[in-house]
Each structure stands twice: as C-alpha cells, then as structure tokens.
Amino acid sequence: MIPDALAAEGSSKRDWNRFLDSHYRRGWNVNVSRVMDNATHVVVYFGSYLKKPPVPMSRLEHYAGQDEIDPFN
C-alpha cells in the first residue's frame, strides 16, 4: 500500500528505486544548535547512522500504512 501523497512517484519497484536513488544522492545538512564540547563524539555518532543501510525493500513491502513498523515482525 502506497500513501496517497506518494502515489504519483510510481507504483513499481523500478519507479521507487529511481525515486529513492535520486534522494540518496542529495547532500546532508546537520544543524547543531550549540557549541560542542566533544566534536569527535558527535562525528562518530552521526557516522554510525551513515554506515547503516537504508530500509530494506522486504520491510517496505510489509508496510501497510501504520504509524510505525514493528521491528520484531
């Protein structure tokens, strides 16, 4: 099930891959609101998220419009 707001982006796996690839290529902006005492820790923290793969297609296929995806399912 595709949310109505995203239905125009495509309905096939190929269309979605194109859509996601175009967004993954965009740059990232990280706004930090205060001076950091330990910048190295912050860089390692953000880096841990960049190392994680995107949501696998198998999890997206089982998504049925709930607010959250059950990680134990």
pLDDT tens digits for the chain (73 residues)? 666 777 777 777 788 788 878 877 777 677 776 777 777 888 888 777 777 766 776 666 666 565 555 555 5
Q: What is the pLDDT of residue 68?
A: 59
Cα within 13 Å of Cα(43), Cβ side = 4
Q: What is the pLDDT of residue 16?
A: 77
d(CA 41, CA 60): 32
% helix / strand / coil in the chain, to the nearest 5?
A: 50, 0, 50
d(CA 49, CA 40): 15
> Phi-psi region for residue 65, left (φ > 0), alpha (ψ -120 to 50) or beta?
left
Q: What is the pLDDT of residue 50?
A: 74
